[in-house]
Structure 1
């Protein structure tokens, strides 16, 4: 059994992020109070969460090298994935017109509210959107800065940076696929799985594992073995997120009930329900996606999805993908302690309620 406790690790990652933003605040101080507001919102964007991406980066490194030569450098490298994640969330919330994130106003809504309260010129919505785009871009750039300046030697960090750049390309392209699917108002299961894979699965688990392993000097074979574990686990992770987006408890998720339905997300769960539900129920679900929904509407749509068998099918797929990932991990040529912790992380990522 491992003795690894994720709580101190999360605290360490948060301290890295706080210190990093302190330095950025000092650099931007000459710009005045508006720059300070941007930094304040950046602090909010990187606060909280399970830190799965940082954890998978850490144990990707440890899978290849059991000894950590510079713990502070590794912590900074791991934290860079959380900055990337914050960037994606800021942009994603804007594109989805989400009102909340982790129980507080989404970034664009927070800036929109400041504009409205101050009575400034122009449209509050446009101001909020512009601020969110700029903050998301800033965080995206800072993710690379934090990794490059983590403290690893140039030859060590090069592999990690290359993989981070690939990860950023994949998640942005995946986000565009998602936007296009929502615009067309249709997605079959295969299309929804492609969006899921590139928008979330790869950057949530597979690429963080690869980046950590790359920093440790992993061979191509080791990266491939970790990928065979990380990709199906990332898919299971996002499928769990999709279930929570419809059936999650707002007190746990920090999002309104049935938020994915209100936002009109064409997820694998929804695609399966549309395929399997009786024609009238499928039409009701399809027509309701992306419209304002009351509590009664949400319960009705949840029942359609449940009765179609889609939720049970997705739960079965989550279990199958997670089981396959863990079986693959058992055969991988990696450090034994890392194998144990990664198995525990696989369960935490797929069995969560938030």
Structure 2
């Protein structure tokens, strides 16, 4: 991603990683004496193991769009969002029973395997889940600490923190809605609501608005960023759901069986159910949500999903939302550098393989 000021996505990701590494390194001496370092070390590895760093990037360009200058303070404040993202991923993997994240064992799987290798007393899976929950909680606490300690003036931090707290509430509410939806009717409307609350707002819209608010953006700027962020965030999650079923695990870092075994009520699945004929519907009911689903069964499900037209419909939804987002940038009251960077970043969010 290029821009008029020469800031690239690679540069931003590198600087965010440096800020995260420095912050996490400083936590070691703060860890209470006598407490094992297992969770501390596992969280450090998890956070620094990769990721697209999208949320920090959107926060940075929200700041720049509102006229904020480049500097280490906004990098630190924006990188804090990655710690909150780590919290959400760790807890989401526990709830979904996901065994892998970014091509490595998920946090709860790591601790479960650790328990098993050492032949400790008690139930290994319960230990793994409990330790991972604590790791997620620690990342959430760190996110607030890193954000408020970024070095920006306190009154600026307060402006951004109001949106930060709103984002946290929305993510948890969206996660609960996702849980409720998994035992409900699995409608398209319900799945779209989950996407907006659980993913779109905290991936794109709120990070953008947080960065802009830190820079003192006016209400009309925050509103314009919402018009850009909401549809783009929807498109991002719709692409994520497609990759969860049709992606290449060696690229995505996550098995394509997880969503199908879990019976995850995505828009893709809701559309497939809605448009399946009687024969397809019977096969779908027999295979979808089975924990013993094998690769052959998964391939049969993918064939049914494509045959119903669900995959094509979701691709159309992604295109419409991405175009709507880019169109919203045209008259948004932001700097030209941010407008160009966000337009390019929007393309990379939608046209991706991981």
Long gaps (5+) in structure 2: none
What does 1:203-222 correspond to in 2, within 5 Å?
203-222=202-221
Structure 1 stretch 138-147 or stretch 285-294: which is displaced more? 285-294
Equivalent residue, structure 2, for 1:289: 288
Equivalent residue, structure 2, for 1:18: 21
**Aligned-partner SS, 2:334:** coil
Equivalent residue, structure 2, for 1:39: 40
| TM-score between both structures, scaled by the size of structure 2 | 0.96
The alpha carbon displacement at 1:65 in A equals 0.8
Structure 1 stretch 276-285 or stretch 188-197: which is displaced more? 276-285
Q: Distance in 2 between matches of 1:160 and 1:118?
A: 45
Deviation string for 1:24-46 (max 9, x for gaps)?
A: 111115134x2x21121111221
Deviation string for 1:118-165 (max 9, x for gaps)?
A: 111110011011011111111112111111111111110101111110
Equivalent residue, structure 1, for 2:51: 49
Equivalent residue, structure 1, for 2:172: 172
The alpha carbon displacement at 1:213 in A equals 0.3
Contact 2:73–2:152 (Cα < 8 Å) also in 1: yes
Q: Distance in 2 between matches of 1:56 and 1:175?
A: 22
What does 1:1-354 correspond to in 2, within 5 Å?
2=4, 3-28=6-31, 30-32=33-35, 34=36, 36-47=37-48, 48-68=50-70, 71-184=71-184, 186-291=185-290, 292-354=292-354
Contact 1:247–1:258 (Cα < 8 Å) also in 2: no
Contact 1:66–1:335 (Cα < 8 Å) also in 2: no
Q: Distance in 2 between matches of 1:66 and 1:86?
A: 26
Deviation string for 1:281-315 (max 9, x for gaps)?
A: 12322342221221111110000000000000000
| TM-score between both structures, scaled by the size of structure 1 | 0.96
Contact 2:39–2:134 (Cα < 8 Å) also in 1: no
Contact 1:60–1:210 (Cα < 8 Å) also in 2: yes
How many corresponding residue pairs?
349
Say what the alpha-carbon RMSD is for the aligned residues: 1.2
The alpha carbon displacement at 1:66 in A equals 4.9
The alpha carbon displacement at 1:4 in A equals 2.5
Q: Distance in 1 between matches of 2:283 and 2:191?
A: 20
**Aligned-partner SS, 2:347:** helix
Deviation string for 1:48-77 (max 9, x for gaps)?
A: 111111100000000001533xx1110111
**Aligned-partner SS, 1:334:** coil
Long gaps (5+) in structure 1: none
**Aligned-partner SS, 2:51:** coil
Contact 1:235–1:321 (Cα < 8 Å) also in 2: yes
Structure 1 stretch 272-281 or stretch 226-235: which is displaced more? 272-281
Q: Distance in 1 between matches of 2:236 and 2:44?
A: 25
**Aligned-partner SS, 2:182:** helix
